[in-house]
Amino acid sequence: GEAVPPAQRSSWASFLKSIASVSGDLSSMTCPPFILSPVSLTEFPAYWCEHPELFSAIADQTTEEQRTLAVVKWFISTLKGQYTSRNESMGSEKKPLNPVLGELFYGKWPDLNGRGETQLLVEQVSHHPPITAYAIENKSKGVKLIGHNAQKTSFSGGSIIVKQIGHATLTVQLPSGGVAEYLITLPRLRIDGLWYGAPYIELSESSWIISKHYVCSVEYKGKGYFSGKTHSFKATLNPAPGLGGSLGSHVIEGTWHTTSKFTSGPKSGLEFHNVTGPKEEVTAIGGQTSGEMGDFETRQLWKLVAKGIREGDFDMASREKSKIENDQRQRRKDELAAGTKWPLKHFVHVDSDPTYEQLGKLGKISPSTEDMYVFKENWPPA
Ligand code: 0T9
């Protein structure tokens, strides 16, 4: 392909050959250097809050209908960062650093214009398969997102198909004293452009946002489908079964990386979301404070590997990466010998999630149950 540096063409070709045969987990495969990203997957949950004001606005709504629309608007507005930002910052999708067990990333978005501070906490809760758990919370507004994600990959028609495993739950503390809960599931990804060495993501199939009042399905299509445009979506919001009455239905259509509008319902014709403006990067915290997070803070841990990748010193990058991997292997060996297990810091694994099961029934969600990582609430000391 055109984007592949001449010296790396044969290694890219053999990488492509091997992904066709390896299925399930691509995270630990060796790639040619041009496709490596210096950023670990533990930093990805920050994409959920690139628009902190949309996250906090969820708390400011006064009706179920408005609150649901605010949740959907925040969700759709995160997709641009989640799925196109590596193309924008690095020219194509790249292979992220594969987090080690116990890797941590903490961050925050400051209080501005009364929206309150939002905190981010991420922990790598499994290495094989890779599973990342996160908590994002705006305490002053009472809005909290807890979730985890993993991927199952396969190869089909020249593309990598990524099935996302895991889900998130958004909770909102209501002035009445109650709590509104929203189950959020994740779309399927297709990674195209591999042949040319310029991978990019398109979303497909559907994901859901479900509360006890509303069921919202989001359908994703790429070029050549209902709008003919890349990154198209159609969100359909309907009152949960048996809850017609005062709750209205809405359909929203557009492209998730730009704008969308209501195409059916009482707001038909009005703009829904618009992410053509600036986004807000997270401020990483703890990278400089050793001790509490120590060497497991992601930017600390990967510092020299990332430097090597950024500066084109791939010998250093791979040497430093091997050091990290050897250290991990030794830790697992020691734990096995001692009959101990690496303790998770912020999460507890449970086999099923009642919120997922109950709300999931209202949509066409499979599987019917999923495990989850319960957040222990021991927020890092300031
Ligand atoms: C959760 C997101 C996820 C993580 C990444 C598939 C992928 C790892 C998972 C799903 C976030 O909320 C959203 C965005 C991008 C996803 C990554 C894209 C990607 O390519 C990697 C996989 C593991 C690879 O690195 C495949 C090999 C590579 C050469 C293709 C660029």
Ligand 1 pocket test, candidate residues 11, 22, 26, 39, most atoms within 8 A of CB: 26
Nearest atom (ligand 1) to Cα of 19 = 27
Query: Residues 309, 33: contact at Cβ < 8 Å?
Result: yes
Whole-number Å distance, alpha carbon 96 to ligand 1 midpoint, is 7
What number is the average pLDDT over the span 163-186?
97
Q: Is 208 in the pocket of ligand 1 (CB under 6 A)?
A: no
* Position in ligand 1 atom list of the atom nearest CA 26: 23
What was the pLDDT predicted at 123?
A: 97
pLDDT for position 380: 45
- pLDDT per residue as tens digits for the range 139-151: 999 999 999 999 9
Say yes or no: CB of residue 293 within 6 Å of ligand 1.
Answer: no
Nearest atom of ligand 1 to the alpha carbon of 98:
23
Q: Which of 95, 148, 161 to mutate to test the pocket of ligand 1 (most atoms within 8 A of CB)?
A: 95
Ligand 1 pocket residue status of 92, Cβ below 6 Å: no
Distance 81 CA to ligand 1 centre (A): 13
What is the dihedral angle through the alpha carbons of 61, 64, 70, 73, rounded to the nearest 10 degrees? -170
pLDDT at residue 292, rounded to an integer: 54
- Average confidence (pLDDT) over 355-370: 94
Query: Residues 276-303: what's their mean pLDDT?
Result: 82
The mean predicted confidence, pLDDT, of the chain is: 93
CA dihedral 204, 205, 211, 215 (to 10 degrees): 120
Instruction: Assess whether the C-beta atom of 298 lies below 6 angstroms from ligand 1.
Output: no
Confidence class of residue 194 from pLDDT cuts 50, 70 and 90?
very high
Q: Which atom of ligand 1 is nearest to the CA of 164?
A: 10
Centre of ligand 1 to C-alpha 238, Å, is 31
ipTM above 0.95, yes or no: yes
Q: What is the pLDDT of residues 312-331, one digit of tens each?
A: 999 999 999 999 999 999 99
Q: Is the preceding peptide bond at 354 cis, omega within 30 degrees of 0?
A: no
Q: Which position has the higher pLDDT, 274 or 3? A: 274
3-state secondary structure the chain: CCCCCHHHHHHHHHHHHHHHHCCECCCCCCCCHHHEEEEEHHHHHHHHHCCHHHHHHHHHCCCHHHHHHHHHHHHHHHHHHHHHHHHHHHCCCCEEECCCCCCEEEEEECCCCCCCCEEEEEEEEECCCCEEEEEEEECCCCEEEEEEEEEEEEEECCEEEEEEECCEEEEEECCCCCEEEEEECCCEEEEECCCCCCCEEEEEEEEEEECCCEEEEEEEECCCCCCCCCCEEEEEEEECCCCCCCCCCEEEEEECCCEEEEEECCCCCCEEEECCCCCCCCEEECCCCCCCCHHHEHHHHCHHHHHHHHHCCHHHHHHHHHHHHHHHHHHHHHHHHHCCCCCCCCEEEECCCHHHHHHHCCCCCCCCCCCEEEECCCCCCC
Question: Separation of 36 CA from ligand 1 center, angstroms?
Answer: 11
Atom of ligand 1 nearest to the CA of 31: 29
Report the atom number in ligand 1 closest to the C-alpha of 94. 31
Task: Taking residues 289-298, report their average pLDDT.
Answer: 70
pTM assigned to the model: 0.96
